[in-house]
Amino acid sequence: MAEEGKTFGGPAVSARQVNVLVIGSGGREHALCWRLRQSAICGHLYCAPGNAGVAHEAGVQPVPSDLLNVSDHDAVILFCARSRIGLVVIGPEAPLVAGLGDALRAAGVLVFGPNANAAQLEGSKVYMKDLCARHGIPTAGYATFTDAAAAEAHIRAVGAPVVVKADGLAAGKGVVVARTVQEAVDAVHSMMTQRAFGDAGAKLVVEDFLTGEEASFFVLVGTDGECVPLAACQDHKAVGDGDTGPNTGGMGAYCPAPVVTPEHVQVVMDTCVKPTVAAMAAEGTPFSGVLFAGLMIDGPDVKLLEYNVRFGDPECQALMVRMTGDLVALLLGCASGRTLEAAAQHLHWGGDASCCVVMAAKGYPGVFAKGEPIGGLRQATATGAVVFHAGTTHDYKTDTILSNGGRVLCVTGVGASVKEAAAAAYKGVDAINWPGGFCRRDIGWRAIAREEAGQ
């Protein structure tokens, strides 16, 4: 619960300004706070629970877990009332699937993010695939299973490569692109028999393997179903250089993604996004917030891999450093039922490219250490890079930033090209002193290859 009698801040400093609460503790939420704070109409800005980077961000007040448990919906409602919150921005998918948005809306609080029923678009791979099948939205062929033996038999019948997905939320790690039948069978038993992802693996989706290049595309959806496309990014899920090793929550991203052309955008909007939004409204689960479409691009062809119902991480970091304009006004317009076309006047994109490099703890996505000191953060910022914190804490006794997660820092650079943006990000990375950390050294390689080839 919120601390009894504790009121953070107070009323917004003018009638035009809006107090904002961001829910989450990762690099995505740090990036959102960084951009929201630059809004002309942003009043008091809070982040629950935040992290060490958020705590050091000028004008942002973290609300740690001992003062506000964000899984306690009544406590969040009480905090919003006492702090006169005019907009709640829910960063991660788990609180959305758990219905935090529903509880806040019922209490009269404006929320950026979908309700629990609509959040099943990410919360259940089976729900998403079935919706697409019902409405003719182009995606990979699939079968669903609740029995490991049946899933194994299907895989042996169809062969490899094949994609195995846990139905529920698995922190971005519940997808295995299996190149062999045995790898796919092992994934099935890991998820269903050994419960590597808990209840998230009680159901599985086994998908046809699609060829091409993956990209992430983001669209704002208003409460009236109006859609405003943002931008395309490309992230790097594999832990190692050259896209080797197991999948992670994301080891880096860049924006824009040149593989996604204006023609692709039109196709995605017409055949995927708009039909999905219309279908959800027709089925009684209207969607509002940000729709994150994972795409497979193969020449002129585009297919939908999956939907997420929040900004990507680390894609959000790459988006925010390019975005200009008033993000509070934009998200408020999205959440309030105002015409998004008017709110989108606040949205502008810089001409530069951006690149975000994730620094992770050695051993991630497996076993890793926490509590390791990290130095050189000021030096990294002095290079011009923006350092977003993802998994950090602050030891105030020694005034030291410590690692506190698998993905720990998101070092982001901008430049006239992806190559320049990547160089700026790695300049920041190289200024950081953290022997227990590592990063991929090839973030942006696809776009850089295109740039060098003059494409």
pLDDT tens for 248-277 read: 889 999 999 999 999 999 999 999 999 999
Residue range(s) of every CATH 3.30.470.20 domain in the chain: 212-349
Q: Which CATH architecture has domain 353-452?
A: Alpha-Beta Complex (3.90)
* Strands 437-438 and 353-361, bridge-based pairing: antiparallel
Residue range(s) of every CATH 3.90.600.10 domain in the chain: 353-452
Q: Which secondary structure element, helix H or strand E, spans residue 214, and what is its range?
A: strand 213-221
* pLDDT of 91 higher than 60: yes
CATH tag, 141-208: 3.30.1490.20
pLDDT tens for 129-177 read: 999 999 999 999 999 999 999 999 999 999 999 999 999 988 767 888 8
Burial pattern 373-406, b for ≥16 Cβ within 10 A else e, equals: ebebbeebeebebbbbbbbbbbeeeeeebbbbbb
pLDDT tens for 275-299 read: 999 999 999 999 999 999 999 999 9
Residue range(s) of every CATH 3.30.1490.20 domain in the chain: 141-208
> What is the distance between the alpha carbons of residues 222 and 226, in angstroms, rounded to a whole number?
5
CATH tag, 18-114: 3.40.50.20
CA dihedral for 312, 376, 239, 366, sign (positive or negative) = negative
Q: pTM of the full predicted structure?
A: 0.93
Residue range(s) of every CATH 3.40.50.20 domain in the chain: 18-114
Q: Domain 212-349, CATH 3.30.470.20 — does that match?
A: yes
Phi, psi at 15, each rounded to 5°: -60, -25
